Amino acid sequence: MTATANDIWTEIEELENDEEFQRNNDNWDFESIEVHDPVENLGAVYAIHFTKDEINAIRDYAEIAGVTTSEFIRRAAIAAAKGESAAELHAAVGELRAAVERATAALKVIEASESAAGERLAG
């Protein structure tokens, strides 16, 4: 059932006569009500149950992908909705894992080179 404007005003009048409402709302400025456009594409939050092993695996993949667990789950759900297979998603995560390993190796080389340079300057 959709409320009419009359129903809403009746409810407001009832609230204005409610002592508890008045005690909690004495500072409300009902004369300067602001009306805003609805938020577009507001979205939704879903609670999904995962077993401990499932969430640990998802968390590991998310870390490898460099995103939060929530973002990883969101992307996986969208990929599934678009018809992308789990194999494609797994391959993408594998590529990300390889990229992370390459970056980690490069960082170790840089750190070793900085350390050696520091030792030469100190010695």
Establish if 17 belongs to a structural domain.
Answer: no
Average pLDDT estimate for 3-24:
73
State pLDDT tens for residues 20-45.
766 666 666 777 888 888 888 888 88
Asked whether 96 and 65 are in contact (CB, 8 A), the reply is yes
Establish if 26 belongs to a structural domain.
Answer: no
Count of structural domains, the chain: 1
Question: Which tokens hold the place of 19?
Answer: 């002592």
Does pLDDT of 61 surpass 90?
no
Establish if 29 belongs to a structural domain.
Answer: no
d(CA 27, CA 10): 21
Distances from the Cα of 82 to the Cα of 41, 92, 109, angstroms? 19, 15, 40
Dihedral angle over CA of 80, 83, 87, 89, nearest 10:
-50
Which one of 12-26, 32-46, 80-94 scores highest in mean pLDDT? 32-46
Establish if 82 belongs to a structural domain.
Answer: yes
Establish if 86 belongs to a structural domain.
Answer: yes
Establish if 30 belongs to a structural domain.
Answer: no
Establish if 77 belongs to a structural domain.
Answer: yes
pTM recorded for the entire structure: 0.42
> What percent of the chain has pLDDT above 70?
87
Segments forming the whole domain that contains residue 64:
52-122
